[in-house]
Amino acid sequence: MALVVDPVTSETLYAGTTEGVFRSKDGGTTWKPLAPWELSRRDRKSITLLVAHPAIPHRLYALAEDGGAFEIQLDD
């Protein structure tokens, strides 16, 4: 499992899990899928690392165990 705190908005967490990437906007109390994790079920099962861009707000990077490196720019 990977866990990272949003560098812009405290209380916002991202978690990489066996079911994809989730976001919490209330300090980890409730979670929602961050965005449709469009990889196949085989690939999305393992997120090994989440990194927030240090300068660009709401930009996130994920490494998947089965090979890929991915980025996403969130609206908010």
Residues that bind other proteins (CB under 8 A): 1-5, 7-8, 10, 13, 15, 18, 24, 27-28, 35, 37-43, 48-49, 51, 53-56, 59, 61-75
Shortest Å distance, C-beta 15 to other proteins: 8
Shortest Å distance, C-beta 16 to other proteins: 10
Sheet holding 20-24, edge to edge: 2-5, 13-17, 20-24, 32-33
Shortest Å distance, C-beta 64 to other proteins: 8
